Amino acid sequence: MKVLISGASVAGPTLAYWLHRFGFEPTVVERTPQLRRGLGGHAVDLFGPAVDVVDRMGLLPTVTEARTRTEQISFVRPGRTPIDVDMRGLVGMIADRHVEIMRGELASILYEATRHDVEYVFGDSIKAMDSSGDGVRVSFERGPARRFDLVVGADGLHSNVRGLTFGDAGRFRRYIGGYLAVYTVPNHLRLDGRMLTYLAPGRLAGLYPVWQTGAARATFLFRRAEEFHYHHRDLDRQRTLLRESFAGDGWEVPRLLAELDAADDFYLDSISQVVMDTWSRGRVTLVGDAGYSPGPAVGGGTSTAVVGAYVLAGELRAADGDHDTAFPAYEREIGELVRRGHAMGPAMMKTLIPRTAQQAWLTPRGAWLLPRLPAPLQRGLLSLQGGPVRALSAVRLKRYG
């Protein structure tokens, strides 16, 4: 059975791995001319069962070796002593299994694990799909049309497959009030295992090292009541919006913004969720952010994508490729996890990006204090703020063979 997967970031190659292992013939098509190898993107988290999926793929030692190795967050306050927080202790309270890794590094590892067994087509994208009878005829922007038994959109928040299958892709996006930006800068502060975080009302700027290259990654999170209007590939406009949003801020912010034009990996996007009643229609389904993004930086989206890809492949195997059985089973299996992630997104936004000066004052002190509280009080507070991670950790993976 031939399965076309659109998207070669994290969900796509994970799905391709398991489909091949379960006896299917996956093909991955990716719009970019070549894989964005290396350490691009922002740091992402693998929690609980996502770590188990990677372990079952035999990749956990490689992924663990490539982890960010950021062990401490220092909340900086100009003219005052930083507040240092042990990241390992903080994360350990909500997840017993966790790996933080650069998104680009994870994508590269997944590609290397699949490229000899899976057909990859770079520099092309799906133009149209025609489902009829026992398959889907797929037309591409550049290559010749081909026929597949199933099509899976693993192409992210701005999913092309979602738009072609369900209509206007934007109508399923739910903006939750903020933006994320990230890009590479020189490690001029010589950080090693430590992230610096600057908080202001409605804004956060961070800087953390990428030990493999000696460079650093600048990260910006900021609130905005109304969405900006720009095309998601108009990088010049996005750079301007970022500069305007942090104009007048102190600390290292002016220096980081001065490096913006030199960065070839600049990324900015809204913190938006994808909310759908169903991710499947006919012989087409969605996986990861394309179908159920909880929002970048707020809901464990990478972990959910890895788990979703594994479950989708497993349910197809269990149903002997019968999509009418497998797709609903896939949605049932991870539906509660997706719903909890969506519900917790706005709450995590409040925690990550303080709205007022008082909240900006309280956030680092709360992070410092939390590991020092009695265990019952820790559990009570974490039930309010750690929902997505706890929901993910509660997932028990089936063994599909």
Of 57-61, 248-252, 361-365, which gets the smallest average pLDDT?
A: 361-365
CB of 182 closer than 8 Å to CB of 217: yes
DSSP 278-319: -SEETTEEE-THHHH---TTTS-HHHHHHHHHHHHHHHHHHT
Q: What is the pLDDT of residues 99-142, one digit of tens each?
A: 999 999 999 999 999 999 999 999 999 999 999 889 999 999 99
Given a cut of 80, is residue 92 above it in pLDDT? no
Q: Please tell me the predicted confidence (pLDDT) of residue 377.
A: 43
Q: Please tell me the predicted confidence (pLDDT) of residue 376.
A: 45
Rounded mean pLDDT, 236-251: 96
Across all residues in the chain, what is the average pLDDT?
A: 90
Q: Is residue 131 in some structural domain?
A: yes
Q: Is residue 335 in some structural domain?
A: yes
Q: Please tell me the predicted confidence (pLDDT) of residue 296.
A: 86
Q: Is residue 185 in some structural domain?
A: no
Of 237-241, 250-254, 288-292, 372-376, which gets the smallest average pLDDT?
A: 372-376
Q: Is residue 114 in some structural domain?
A: yes
Q: Please tell me the predicted confidence (pLDDT) of residue 379.
A: 47
CB of 187 closer than 8 Å to CB of 214: yes
Q: Is residue 62 in some structural domain?
A: yes
Q: Is residue 159 in some structural domain?
A: yes
Task: Provide the number of structural domains found in the chain.
Answer: 1
Q: Is residue 72 in some structural domain?
A: no
Q: Is residue 200 in some structural domain?
A: no
DSSP-derived pairing of the beta strands 284-286 and 280-281: antiparallel
Q: What is the pLDDT of residues 4-54, one digit of tens each?
A: 999 999 999 999 999 999 999 999 999 999 876 666 778 899 988 999 999
Rounded mean pLDDT, 218-228: 95
Q: Which residue has the higher pLDDT, 264 or 25?
A: 25
**Beta carbons within 8 Å of 2's beta carbon, 6+ residues apart:** 24, 25, 26, 27, 147, 148, 149, 150
Closest CA to 343 of 386, 302, 388: 388
Q: What is the pLDDT of residues 184-219, one digit of tens each?
A: 999 999 999 999 999 999 999 999 999 989 999 999
Q: Which domain holds residue 300?
A: 2-67+101-173+277-355
Q: What is the pLDDT of residues 300-351, one digit of tens each?
A: 899 999 999 999 999 999 999 999 999 999 999 999 889 888 887 887 887 7
134: CATH: 3.50.50.60
Q: Please tell me the predicted confidence (pLDDT) of residue 381.
A: 46
